[in-house]
Structure 1
Amino acid sequence: MKRRSFVKASVMAGTATIISPMISKAVIKDNQQEAAEFYELRVYTLKNDIQQKLVEDFYSQAAIPAFNRLGVKNVGVFTELIPAGQTRLFVLIPYHSLVHFNDVIIKLEQDKVFQQKGIPYFTAPAIKPAYERIESSIMKAFAHAPKMVVPPNKSRIFEMRQYQSASEAAGKKKIEMFNDQGEIDIFKRLDFKPVFWGETIIGPSRPNLTYMVTFDDQEAKAAHWKSFIDDPEWKKISTVDGYSDALLVSKITSTLLLPVAYSQI
């Protein structure tokens, strides 16, 4: 019996000796592949100022401090520059990885300070809800822009653009255009001060990609986009066979945003 146990232990040890380096290599490879950040975008539909204040108080007093304690930095909160009625509230939350995202969810449930300060938001009654709906998306950062870049802290407007594609193949091709054909580099060279680029992996209106750029004001926005359209390099890559926006993009939405006072972006 002892011999059998010894043989079994020896086999397991030998197997571990073979598998361990393989696991280590796989972990290293996965870590390299997961160097890109993940972004959670929450869009709150609100009906009045009371709801807006309740949600904003939740983020300024409870959520953002809790996120920061858990290693989530640079949480952005934005209102619409030109709302159609009550503004929607946009919340952008960056995570190091999906593992980090899951870890944050678990620890927030255990964070007594967060839970206590969030009571008005969490327990708002059905007849006076904190918001009408939340629409959430999870995005993975592009390979050529794997980390969020926070712009200088001064008065500015943000533009969030979403490009929807008719097929997943077309969506991947458009991302390839940004990553491999130099489209991201054009934005950087023309000083759009891009904040992030993300492929939506979970969320509505897929397949799509979303990115955020910034400007001093509306006049600067118009000037920057004119310079982009007139840029020789953009004209060159946009006419490469297979990379025409007419083939790759079925719908573009643009939302102009203003950061709230406590936004970390």
Structure 2
Amino acid sequence: MRPAFLCLGGRDGRVGSPGADVVLPVVRKRPGRRQRLARHSRRRPPRGARGHLDHAPQDGEARLAPGRTRWRRFPHRPVSVLGAHRRARGHEQHDRLLVRVLAGVSRSAGGGRDGRTQAQVDADGLSPRVDAPGRTRYTAPRRLDMNQLIRRRAFLSGSLAAGVAITTASKRDSSSSERKPKQEFYELRIYRSPTAAKQQVVLAFVEKALRPALNRQGIDRIGIFKPDGKADTAVYVVIPYPSLDLLALQNDKLEADDVYQAAAAAYFALPKAAAPYTRIESRLLRAFAGLPTLAAPSRKSGTRIVELRIYESRNEQLAKRKVEMFNQGEIDLMRSVGMAPVFFGETLIASDVPNLTYMLSADSPAAHKAHWAAFLKHAEWDRMKNLSRYKGTVSKIVSVTMMPTAGSQL
């Protein structure tokens, strides 16, 4: 492999002209794209400038091969030259030197013909060598700075560690969000029966036809309740839905359920005068974040009761603040005094919105009263109710005490 010289010329493109910069040794190899494009910008030498085999390179010449001289012209602006130097031993090892050359023409104190001061030369790590009066050539060091390599490796290792930490944290956050249960939806269905006899007809339909059909659709934990009192003969049904798709497809699936149709045939055949209810009221609720899924109460006690409470607000903002109050500590306070919340729901669709609805369970009416007394006397409740943010959030409270029926799953 024969050596050659890469010449960076001065104003007129020759090494010997004013403003000449660098002569770097390079290795001849197969010309690449840059070399092929550079041939189009060659400047042919003047007549008689071609050298002989024993002709020494003059100013402005660069010997590439015996008997031949090639000329190159470079623009007068800062350029970057990448010279690939192949080692004498080992064909697979290469050194790459990146040399930043400033083609300056101005003279500076203490500098060479290229306008570089000694401080600039020392900062770039180039060693000056004077070939002729007024001509300076800079040679780049053959060994790389190990301090730079160490700093680069430390930066890469630190960046890698930071990336791993961020990825781990994001995976941890995503896994925790996946483990958190989604908020359910509840349908509170109220059959308004005018008499106790017709109430029993509705209960028979719900327990023997509707509830088994909904269980076959994958809907469970269905609560069936009747009020504790002779004045109210309605039937309350709580149906939880993991998603609204089950609610949307419910009627179509009931229509295609032959078992359901057979069990409800007598109920649907009742004449208008014997209609078991006047209307069906339906409320759509969304579970609170503080209690995202329905909690089934204990069914050991034969005297168990539930209380359904509806808190109405005069505007939507106050209703949201009351929901916030429950999520920020009121639910936990209820549990601490022995109350057993069944569900908490923000009412999405109803005739008396904005409001929220929730249900509490107790083993007996006496135990339920004791729980409320402990709650109202608690210091935390006294602090929360006096917060200015939560004052005036409830304008009306509706409370209904009920008992679960024999066919209830709650």
TM-score range, shorter chain: 0.7 to 0.9
Q: Does 1:240 align with 2:398?
A: no
Structure 2 match to 1:72: 219
Unmatched segments (≥5 aa) in structure 2: 1-177
1:71 deviates by 0.9
Is the CA contact 2:181–2:293 (under 8 Å) kept in the aligned structure 1?
Answer: no
Distance 2:180 2:376 in 1: 33
Structure 1 match to 2:399: 254
Structure 2 match to 1:11: none
Is the CA contact 1:54–1:120 (under 8 Å) kept in the aligned structure 2?
Answer: no
Structure 2 match to 1:158: 306
Structure 1 match to 2:277: 131
1:83–1:32 CA distance, 2 compared to 1 (3 A)? farther
Is the CA contact 1:160–1:210 (under 8 Å) kept in the aligned structure 2?
Answer: yes
Q: Does 1:122 align with 2:268?
A: yes
Distance 2:221 2:341 in 1: 15
Structure 1 match to 2:121: none
Partner AA of 1:260 in structure 2: T
Distance 2:279 2:354 in 1: 22
C-alpha RMSD over aligned residues: 2.0
Give the secondary structure class of the aligned counterpart of 1:148: coil
Q: How many residues align?
A: 233
Is the CA contact 1:47–1:132 (under 8 Å) kept in the aligned structure 2?
Answer: yes
Question: 1:105 aligned to 251, 274, 290, which one?
Answer: 251
Partner AA of 1:40 in structure 2: E
Structure 2 match to 1:185: 332
1:81–1:92 CA distance, 2 compared to 1 (3 A)? same
Distance 2:218 2:323 in 1: 28
Partner AA of 2:228 in structure 1: L
1:204 deviates by 1.7
Give the secondary structure class of the aligned counterpart of 1:182: helix
1:223 deviates by 0.9
Is the CA contact 2:181–2:292 (under 8 Å) kept in the aligned structure 1?
Answer: no
1:199-210 correspondence runs (5 A): 199-210=346-357
Partner AA of 1:68 in structure 2: N
Answer with 132-141 or 42-51: which moved more: 42-51
Instruction: Report which of the two structures shows the higher radius of gyration computed on alpha carbons.
Output: 2
Partner AA of 1:98 in structure 2: L
Is the CA contact 2:209–2:260 (under 8 Å) kept in the aligned structure 1?
Answer: yes
1:143 deviates by 1.0
Q: Does 1:89 align with 2:242?
A: no
Answer with 100-109 or 155-164: which moved more: 100-109
Is the CA contact 1:61–1:117 (under 8 Å) kept in the aligned structure 2?
Answer: yes
Distance 2:323 2:192 in 1: 29
Is the CA contact 1:43–1:88 (under 8 Å) kept in the aligned structure 2?
Answer: yes
Answer with 145-154 or 111-120: which moved more: 111-120
Q: Deviations over 1:64-119 (max 9, x none)?
A: 111111111111111111231x5211111111111121133321121111112112
Partner AA of 1:262 in structure 2: G
Distance 2:409 2:380 in 1: 33
Structure 2 match to 1:218: 365
Is the CA contact 1:187–1:193 (under 8 Å) kept in the aligned structure 2?
Answer: yes
1:120 deviates by 2.2
Q: Deviations over 1:27-66 (max 9, x none)?
A: xxxx999911111111111122331222111111111111
Which structure ranks higher in relative contact order (CA pairs < 8 Å, sequence separation ≥ 6)?
1
1:151 deviates by 0.7
Give the secondary structure class of the aligned counterpart of 1:233: helix
- Using the size of structure 1 for normalisation, the TM-score is 0.83
Is the CA contact 2:185–2:287 (under 8 Å) kept in the aligned structure 1?
Answer: yes
Is the CA contact 1:34–1:97 (under 8 Å) kept in the aligned structure 2?
Answer: no
Distance 1:118 1:42 in 2: 18
1:222–1:49 CA distance, 2 compared to 1 (3 A)? closer
- Using the size of structure 2 for normalisation, the TM-score is 0.54
Distance 2:296 2:273 in 1: 39
Unmatched segments (≥5 aa) in structure 1: 1-30
1:188 deviates by 1.5
